Chain A
């Protein structure tokens, strides 16, 4: 809540820095840089991808950072995915494998 009724004229000189964040993507910083292992979805095994209809979505449900979409097929936002591996653990179809981030980066180069 911004308050424009501040009666103290001196306070304007002190635009102090604090750490406030609002709900929304990325306000906790680019947490994807923490990742050591990257979850990669095999669309040949993924249930909603295979059936081409909304189903399962265990990965979306369990992801503690909310970076997996409830779409067909599901997608992972690597900007913020920390690589915690919960999605791979929970996937009933074993469609998600954790791949060394260094290998992925070398591959992308």
Chain B
């Protein structure tokens, strides 16, 4: 069934179809309509879940950790400073290997206070051990939420579904709501290998000594470092599971096929612009015009940020003349974090394209099509400058 609704409602519909059993969230702009919609659905009996109102995002994630430990499908959502307030619990959820799904409705971070969109919130949580997926439109939001539960429960790693605040969360777009029966086939009931049980009491994630130890049964129990290495190894293996999940989704619903990078006119391109989220779709219009001018250029939308699909990135970009990375986040004191990752992924390639970096759209600064034209024209062609320090696009002073 096709409907026209906001990105937040697309996310809520995905959560409803996925049969989340426990939802705990604290409202924060621009995530608020998503959690309002979910509480309405629960209140109306259209979603059989416990909706737990909490006094903070830290508690929201704590509730999800407890619910997931007890063997239920848990969901939350937040933005910006709310996400940062969860930070400690995000590391905890990943270390405890709990398949929680969370929507991050991307917003800039204070100070100064902002409610508008950029990606600094999600990017700053890069190393928490969560899988991070980015969506480009409403259809991807609902589809990605459903996929996220299956992915998380397969690899036992929590998943963030990131989408742009306002640009996607509050705009209306047509999208297809999948059939509930088909979603049930794609996403079986949550049945974890292990869950809390009063009949068999256990301590979860208590002080774990640096060394391994014999447990009460005399079996060797891993130490902190084995547990953390295992998380890393499973994150790397999760790259394949992201692809498998996408393929299974495409088979059932007929959508997908580009789990890591969504290419647009990249095949014969000499230059490729790279971006995450809705910006990669905005760039398509620019690419179309530049193509008419005779420039062989395409755009690659990165869907998976962590684990970083470095091999897919190298395969997609290494043969190009130039790569232009546009991003809405900064690793302060260095450069764009995505830019650094993309350069690193290309380092081992026999041919390395010139890679350029533009920082734009921070705190909702409008991303003007003219600025995108100028940036791309500057980096393409014979007189392109050497790759250099990241440039901020759209500054007015």
Chain A residues with CB under 8 Å of chain B are: 1-3, 5-8, 10-11, 13-14, 16-30
Contacts and interface: CB of A to CB of B under 8 A. Distances in A.
A19 B202 contact: no
A23 to B, nearest CB: 6
Contacts of B119: none
Contact of B71 (A3, A11, A25, A26): A3
A18 B191 contact: no
Contact of B216 (A14, A23, A30): A23
Nearest to A30: B213
Interface residues of B, number: 46
Q: Looking at chain A's contact residues, is the secondary structure mostly helix, strand, loop, or mixed? A: loop
Contacts of A22: 200-203, 215-217
A89 to B, nearest CB: 24
Nearest to A1: B197
A20, A27, A28: most-surrounded residue (chain B CB, <10 A): A20
A20 B203 contact: yes
B194 A21 contact: no
B241 interface: yes
B209 A3 contact: no
Contacts of A7: 188-189, 191
A3 B211 contact: no
Given A26-B214, A26-B216, A8 B154 contact: yes
A25 B216 CA distance: 7
A14 B393 CA distance: 43
5 contacts: A1-B200, A19-B204, A20-B203, A24-B216, A29-B211
Interface string B202-243: 111111110101111100011010110011001001000100
A1 B216 CA distance: 16
B227 A17 contact: yes
Contacts of A29: 207-209, 211, 213
B196 interface: yes
A11 B222 contact: no
A33 B71 CA distance: 36
B191 A6 contact: yes
Contacts of B204: 18-20
A7 B153 CA distance: 11
Contacts of B188: 7-8
Contacts of A17: 97, 222, 226-227, 230-231
A3 B60 CA distance: 27
Given A1-B196, A27-B216, A19 B154 contact: no
B213 to A, nearest CB: 5
Nearest to A31: B209
B205 A18 contact: yes
Interface string B79-113: 00000000000000001110000000000000000
B173 to A, nearest CB: 32
